[in-house]
Copies of this chain bind each other. A is one copy, B any other.
Amino acid sequence: MRLMLAQTAPQWGDVPANLVTLEALCRQASAAGADLLALPELALSGYNIFARLEEFAEPVGGPIARRLGELAADYGLFLLVGLAQRQADGRMTNAALLIDDHGERLATYHKRQLWDREHAVFAAGDACCVEDTRLGRLGLMICYDNEFPEMARALARGGAEVILSPTANMVPNAERQVLQIRARALDNQCFVACINRAGTEAELHYCGNSLVAGPDGEVLGQLGAGAGSLVVDLDRGRLGESRANQDYLKDLRPTPEITP
């Protein structure tokens, strides 16, 4: 599959403007022959919108999702976009929506590991999310999820070949992000892509450095701190190659708990 990451710096609170940018990115992705275009966490509202979440959270199947479906179908692209979602019971989640190239919703993942002030506004998701697609078996996680090896491991044990993670990670965490994404890929012998933000929102300075790591932990592509995009080909044959000598998922023994 050919993956395009868009490390955007969204207009804060301006969904219509960010949808216009998204259409330009779809055009770019289509011209690059990409199969899937992935955007950061809360990519259409901006991340630092906690105080205005009631206004920006999207009901399930709401107008943003409908527009994403149109764009996906128009440009023949899978889309992965982070957005705040309001559930039927009124609770908000920090979600990632995966849409196929016919505009159909394939999966919605709700962030499990909330970070810092997110606890005050979002309900944490419970489920992990792995989705079979014609591009391969895709696992989803979001930002702080990346920092827990258990998350990527659960996705890989669930069969994920490519793990995609929209993020809004901040300065000074760029090196930490690169280290953890590479380790998740190596430890699970799969592809892991982190789609981070650029730009600044009030006191938050996003650190960019979006990257794609391959099944031996190698960096297949990485951006700097500023806005930009990255197109990489993910060869699923690499998964078997990496597992030919040693296969961590097969070799792994259950680890006993130790009483502290």
| A interface residues (Cβ-Cβ under 8 A, vs B) | 112-113, 115-116, 124, 126-128, 130, 144, 147-151, 153-155, 157-159, 175-176, 179-180, 182-183, 186-187, 216-217, 246, 248, 251-253, 255-260
> Which chain B residues lie closer than 8 Å to A154 at the CB level?
255-258
Contact B187 A180 (CB under 8 A): yes
Contact B155 A256 (CB under 8 A): no
Contact B182 A147 (CB under 8 A): no
Contact A255 B150 (CB under 8 A): yes
Contact A158 B260 (CB under 8 A): yes
Contact A187 B148 (CB under 8 A): yes
CB distance from A94 to the nearest CB of B (A): 14
Contact B252 A179 (CB under 8 A): no
What 8 pairs between A and B have smallest CB-CB spacing?
Answer: A158-B258, A183-B183, A149-B149, A159-B260, A150-B255, A154-B255, A128-B258, A179-B217
Complex CA–CA separation, A120 to B68 (angstroms): 55
Contacts A124-B253, A151-B255, A153-B255 known; list 16 others, CB within 8 Å: A127-B256, A144-B251, A147-B187, A149-B149, A149-B187, A150-B255, A154-B255, A157-B260, A158-B257, A158-B260, A159-B258, A175-B217, A179-B183, A179-B186, A179-B217, A180-B186
> Which chain B residues lie closer than 8 Å to A150 at the CB level?
149, 153, 252, 255
Name, among A175, A258, A259, the residue most crowded by chain B CB atoms within 10 Å (CB to CB). Answer: A258
Complex CA–CA separation, A179 to B149 (angstroms): 14
Residue of B nearest to A153 (CB): B149
Choice from B149, B176, B182, B253 contacting A112 with Cβ under 8 Å: B253
Contact A255 B187 (CB under 8 A): no
Complex CA–CA separation, A97 to B61 (angstroms): 60
